[in-house]
Amino acid sequence: MTRKPLLINTHEFIKQSLEIHGKIRASQILAIQDSLYASADADEVSYTLSGDQSYRGKPSLKLDLAGQVTLCCQRCLGEMRYPLVSSTWFEVVADESVIPELDEDDEMDYIVASTQFDVGALVEEELLLSLPLAPKHEEGACTGDLSIMTGQKQNPFKVLEGLKAS
Ligand SMILES: [Zn+2]
């Protein structure tokens, strides 16, 4: 499934202090498919992108995410509701050469100005970065029963062998 690009002109967007609100389905993002729980299809995350000025007075885009994503706990494979709230500032620069060297004290993110900036791609990337790499329930809070799940799961090759034999 291809996503319809949502393009903005970063310069105009910031100059006019525009705002875009939208929703994105977690299951649309291929890169997080493996971390999602089976029932996560309906999970939606709302986003707001606004044109503003950073605390340094530079033209910026601010991206807010809010929602809940159902992840799959890496320890018990059980369902894990993960509340997501994030707010990220991106200073918009004229070209890549202006982006400062990576500085650990610098918490600012950067975007290169564009007349056709893809908002959807930014939202997807930020959502991806906001999720834990290996989601796990709190210690002792696992709910899924891994032993039963693995016990029931049939090895597909064994099943094939069984079919061949018969
Ligand atoms: Zn767990």
**Per the domain annotation, does 20 fall within a domain?**
yes
Å from CA of 79 to ligand 1 middle: 7
- pLDDT at position 70, please? 93
Going from the Cα of 68 to the center of ligand 1, the distance in angstroms, rounded, reads 17
Residue 141 has pLDDT above 80, yes or no: yes
| 92 compared with 162, residue with greater pLDDT | 92
Residues 111-127: what's their mean pLDDT?
94
- 70 C-alpha to center of ligand 1: Å? 12
126 in a structural domain: yes
In angstroms, how far is the first alpha carbon of the chain from the final one?
A: 39
Helix (H) or strand (E) segment spanning residue 152: helix 146-152
> What is the reported pLDDT for 158?
55
Predicted local confidence at residue 107, as pLDDT: 74
CA of 26 to the centre of ligand 1 (A): 20
Query: Is 1 within a domain?
Result: no
- Would you state the pLDDT for residue 4? 72
Q: What is the average pLDDT across 45-69?
A: 95
Spacing, Cα 161 to ligand 1 middle (Å): 33
User: What separation in Å is there between the alpha carbon of 158 and the centre of ligand 1?
Assistant: 28
pLDDT at residue 3, as a whole number: 62
Cα separation, 112 vs 135, in Å, equals: 32
Mean pLDDT of 129-155: 72
Classify residue 2: in a domain, yes or no.
no
- The tally of domains found in the chain comes to 1
Q: Quick one: tokens of 68?
A: 């809940």
* Interval between CA 77 and ligand 1 midpoint (Å): 6
Question: Which residues form the domain of 96?
Answer: 7-165
pTM summary value = 0.78
